[in-house]
Chain A
Amino acid sequence: MKIRRRTFLGIAGLSALAVAEQKILGRVAGQGRNEASPRATGSQTARWAMVIDLRACLEKEGCTDCIAACHKVHNVPDFRNAAHEVKWTWKEPFERAFPGQKSRYAGQALQGGPVLVLCNHCDKPPCVRVCPTKATWKRADGIVMMDWHRCIGCRYCIAACPYGSRSFNWLDPRPQIRDLKADFPTRSKGVVEKCNFCEERLAAGKPPACVEACPERALVFGDLEDPASRVRELLRSRYAIRRKPELGTEPEIYYLV
């Protein structure tokens, strides 16, 4: 919204001139001030990704700490109705998360077991390709972001996502949020939402809420561009799979098996 910004600064400049304050004049001259400041979100070259250790995740049976933490910090509503359900992260049986890996005998330890799923923050996200308003887009650091101010609720992105990672607000979500948190917005009815990789926490230098909440440390978050990062080390030393890699979406959530 370059024009809006310029209009605003224009008005700001004119009013300031009217006040005729020397100091203000100086500020008006320095219009590009925000562009000059260093980025809040780490380095520009980061490529965020997550590695999930499936066995470690299965350690504590029935654990949903990560899901609870995520849904709490992001004011995710609980509709108690599968049709209108909104979820950012949840567990799916292994063969549903990995339909290509369904087998009667192979990988028996994992078959049927729960797998944590969330937005894959794909490198080539089909949801971004189809969005008619750029309400969803891929950031330089790989996070597939959403602008809930801009979403028109056409749900094309939901049709395009091969992982079922996106939810639509069929009704006003606010009354269904049990413990409202003031420092993160809720959503309005009629927009799509999904996991944002905790970009608001990353900006404050904190890890994603699910990663922090996991008692088994089964979720590892990090920068793929940094060869020394934990995620890179794990991907080097262990065998990892991704969901539906054959579709070419390049998911950036890796599962250690």
Chain B
Amino acid sequence: MRDRGLILGGLALFLGLITFPLWYNLAAGTTAKGPDPKRPVQEKNCVEPVAVMRASHMDLLVDWRDQVVRRSEREFTAFDGRTYSMNLTQTCMKCHTSKEEFCDRCHNYAGVKPYCWDCHIDPKLLERTKG
């Protein structure tokens, strides 16, 4: 076992490297607590049940997008029979008034960067920059 030093050293280095994210988070003080998006107060129902929205709002939005842009369909009938205009900034943002407190909180936590806002405009942000 002439190579013991090398083997053990290598193992230690390997372990250190693969557990790096753990140490990094400990050092940075990141908690395991989930995100806390601010939910609308006055409205209890979304266009689909909350569980559905939570899991697949992105698919719904992509579907809305294709309906409006490619098939000129603009009206969406929700699961409870109410109808909505398929419009991110006007329909979604009417209840979820703050992109920062709703969208961004989860997206930042999950480390995803949807490109919706490259083009679509957060009405509240616009008000603030104008006013």
Contacts of B66 in A (CB 8 A): 1, 4-5
A121 to B55, CA, bound (A): 40
Interface readout for B96-131 with A: 1 if CB under 8 Å, 0 if not?
000000000000000000010011111100100110
B121 lies within 8 A of A180 (CB): yes
Task: Tell me if A247 is interfacial: C-beta within 8 Å of chain B.
Answer: no
Q: How far is the CA of A10 from the CA of B120 in the complex (A)?
A: 28
Chain A neighbourhood of B51, CB < 8 A: 15, 18-19
A82-90, A145-153, A154-162, A213-221: which lies at the interface: A145-153
Does chain A have a CB within 8 A of B70? yes
Q: Is B55 within 8 A of A11, CB to CB?
A: yes
Q: Is A91 an interface residue (CB 8 A)?
A: no
Asked whether, in the complex, the Cβ of A40 is within 8 Å of the Cβ of B55, the reply is no
Complex interface bits, A28-48 against B, C-beta within 8 A gives 1, otherwise 0: 000001100101110000000
Q: Which of B43-77 contact A (CB under 8 A)?
A: 48-49, 51-52, 55-56, 59-60, 62-63, 65-67, 69-70, 72-77
Residues on A with C-beta less than 8 A from B80 are 23
Task: Give every chain A residue within 8 A of B52 (Cβ-Cβ).
Answer: 11-12, 15-16
Contact A40 B59 (CB under 8 A): no
* CA A145 to CA B71, docked complex, whole Å: 11
Q: Which residues of B contact A34 (CB under 8 A)?
A: 67, 73, 75-77
- Most central of A24, A149, A203 by chain B CB within 10 Å: A149
Q: Tell me if B77 and A33 are in contact (CB < 8 A).
A: yes
Which residues does chain A contribute within 8 Å of B62, judged by CB atoms?
1, 4, 8
Is A187 on the interface with B (CB-CB < 8 A)?
A: yes
- A33 CA to B119 CA, complexed, in Å: 29
B79 within 8 A of A: yes
CA distance A183 to B56 in the complex (A): 25
Q: Interface size (B, Cβ < 8 Å)?
A: 36
- Is B90 on the interface with A (CB-CB < 8 A)? yes
When the two chains form the complex, which single residue of B65, B81, B123 contacts A149, counting CB atoms closer than 8 Å? B65
Interface size on A, as a range, is 35 or more
**Interface pair B56/A11, CB less than 8 Å apart:** yes
The chain A residue with its CB closest to the CB of B118 is A188
- Given contacts A8-B56, A18-B51, whether A182 and B72 have CB atoms under 8 Å apart is no
Q: Select B49's contact among A24, A33, A40, beta carbons within 8 Å.
A: A24
Tell me which residues across on chain A come within 8 A of B120, comparing CB atoms.
185
Contact A149 B69 (CB under 8 A): yes
Q: Does A167 contact B (CB under 8 A)?
A: no
Given A15-B49, A180-B126, A188-B119, residue A203 in contact with residue B74 (CB < 8 A): yes
Q: Are B121 and A185 in contact, with the CB atoms below 8 A?
A: yes
A39 CB contacts on chain B under 8 angstroms: 72-73
Asked if A7 CB lies within 8 Å of chain B CBs, one says: yes
> Smallest Cβ distance from B116 to chain A, in angstroms?
9
The 10 nearest A-B residue pairs measured at CB? A8-B59, A185-B119, A188-B118, A182-B123, A1-B66, A15-B52, A182-B121, A40-B74, A11-B56, A27-B79
In the complex, 15 of the A-B residue pairs with CB atoms within 8 angstroms, ordered by the A residue number, are A4-B62, A4-B63, A5-B66, A8-B63, A11-B56, A15-B52, A16-B52, A16-B79, A21-B49, A33-B77, A147-B69, A147-B70, A182-B126, A185-B119, A188-B115
Residues of B within 8 A of A (CB): 48-49, 51-52, 55-56, 59-60, 62-63, 65-67, 69-70, 72-77, 79-81, 89-90, 115, 118-123, 126, 129-130
Task: Beyond A12-B52, A148-B119, A182-B122, list 14 extra A-B contacts (CB 8 Å).
Answer: A1-B66, A11-B52, A12-B79, A16-B79, A24-B79, A37-B75, A39-B72, A137-B70, A139-B72, A145-B69, A180-B130, A183-B89, A185-B120, A188-B118
